[in-house]
Amino acid sequence: VLIAFHGHSLVKFTRKKWVFLRCAFGSVSLLCKVWSVQNLPLGNATALVFTFPIMTCVLARIFLKEQINLFHIFAILAGLTGIILIARPTFIFPSTKGAEDYPLWYNIVPLAAALTRSMAYVCQRHIGPVVNCLVVSLYGV
């Protein structure tokens, strides 16, 4: 109703491919994140999923030609260090007390969540204000 009220169409809009990609990446990211939280220790899942700002910065540089300066590089390194030190994932800091045994490849799923979330943000940035945010949100559901 809001979309029609504001004069936007659910069918006639530009950059349909990018809206579809943004929604697909967002959906895959959500599925991977839920799987990670269910199957990994919460600290590991959180640490790996929250690498998405770092990946977004790098992917925006690659695909959108965004500028990265020294401050961004410092922020990437500080963010990565902070994620590792706060969450203390068991695949980096092994512990003998109550450490769960799970395959190392389980860590790929939360990284896939972070990567697809980053790709969704890059797609959203490429879409920009050309497509109304209500349309993108509706297709994302």
Q: What count of Cα atoms within 13 Å lies in the side-chain half-sphere of residue 17?
A: 0
Residue given tokens 């990211």 in the structure block: 29
Q: Give φ, ψ of 69 to 5 degrees.
A: -110, -175
Tell me what pLDDT residue 46 has.
87
pLDDT score at 18: 86
Q: What is residue 141's predicted lDDT score, i.e. its pLDDT?
A: 56
Structure confidence at residue 107 (pLDDT)? 85
Query: Per-residue pLDDT for the chain (141 aa), expressed as one digit of tens each?
Result: 555 656 666 556 777 888 889 889 999 999 999 999 999 888 888 888 999 999 999 999 999 999 999 999 999 999 888 887 876 666 677 765 555 667 778 889 999 999 999 999 999 898 887 776 666 666 665
C-alpha to C-alpha distance for 49 and 115, rounded to whole angstroms: 9
Per-residue pLDDT at 44:
82
Phi then psi for residue 98, to 5 deg, are 65, 20
